Amino acid sequence: MTRTISLPKHLDLDSPGRRDYLVALEHDSIWGDHLMPLTVMVGAQAKPGQGLVAFGSNHGNEYEGPVVLKHLLREIRTEDVIGRIILVPVLNVSAFRTGTRESVGDDGVNMNRAFVEGAGTTPALAGITHRIAAFVRAWIWPRVHVVIDLHSGGDVARFAPVASFHPVDDPAQSRAIEDTARWFGTPLVMTYQNSTPGLLPSEAERLGKITVGTELGYGRSVLTEGVRYGRQGVLAAAIHHGQLRGTIEPIAHHRDGTQRKVAMVDRDCVTVAPFSGHFEPLIGCGEPVKPGDVVGWPHDFDRIDDAPWPATAAIAGIVIAQAWTNPVASGQHIVVVGRVEG
């Protein structure tokens, strides 16, 4: 496979056929470019403003997404593409190179906080991460109506595998999003708070797009089940939203009817570390809890003889996530519990 190094203005994302690019985005500190892999496949029935994009490595230390999309680059046959499919295995090329959540070594920005007003167009927001956001806005959003943003926990948290989305006001959009999320087959589908500024999926949702995120792994590893869920979800979305020819069967918890819908939309869902220390979990991700259950012990080793602090759940629900690496910081959300909605 030969990839063409191309400036954004020279990309062809509309003509029938397949094109494999390395999108050249100017480097912040050397005479050179960041090279973002992007593959576009366009079928004969592609429509303006219609298509699917799937992103991997919004954060640079989350690897199930890049692996999923690297496999799909080989698996999806151009002759089976009806509409438009855009695959970006590594969105944040700067962070991926250093294996970090933010673009360490360049502007230090979190890609999933970079979709803010003026990103990539004002001097204060002109680093590579904001310019990637500007690229997505200018070249990707106008050509797609389905957005898949494949995340994992990285070093931040261990998750029960979830497909996730925000509550949206439009009923038809909401139904389409939830249905698309369920096809990943994960044990949980999750709605979560939408108050954090600059999120890629938040912007896509505001634009009316069918938008699903995920948490498919943790610990900078590649989880086999996470790759399976991610591959299933992207293929199912492409088929069901008219971009790829074929049929697909449900898998795992979607197939078995054991999938649960949970909500993490208020502060009662999180347990916060009251001091910096080391977190010992007591209840695993995916397990049920009741109000007052001790979900873990934060330890303060500067006070070696003190008992650990009992971290308790405030609500009944299912443990969605918990702190993964130690030490944890004061104020860190060390356990997240989702209210069961269905």
Tens of pLDDT along 23-37? 999 887 778 899 999
Q: What backbone phi and psi angles, to 5 degrees, belong to 119?
A: -60, 125
Q: What backbone phi and psi angles, to 5 degrees, belong to 226?
A: -65, -40
Q: How far apart are CA 187 and CA 184, in angstroms?
A: 9
167 and 126 both lie in a single domain = yes
Question: For residue 110, which of 124, 127, 122 has the smallest C-alpha distance?
Answer: 127
pLDDT in tens, 89-144: 999 999 999 999 999 989 999 999 999 999 989 988 989 999 999 999 999 999 99
What's the N-to-C CA distance of the chain in angstroms?
45
Average pLDDT over residues 38-65: 97
Domain's final residue, options 241, 263, 285:
263
Binned at pLDDT 50, 70 and 90, residue 321 comes out as very high
Domain span at residue 285 reads: 267-340
pTM: 0.96
Average pLDDT, the chain: 96
Structure tokens at 52: 């699917």
**Overall domain count for the chain:** 2
**Any idea what the CATH number is for the domain that residue 320 is in?**
2.40.50.100
Question: For residue 265, which of 189, 167, 153, 149 has the smallest C-alpha distance?
Answer: 167
136 and 276 both lie in a single domain = no
Whether 68 has a pLDDT exceeding 70, the answer reads yes
Q: How far apart are CA 274 and CA 331, in angstroms?
A: 6
Binned at pLDDT 50, 70 and 90, residue 1 comes out as low
277 and 236 both lie in a single domain = no
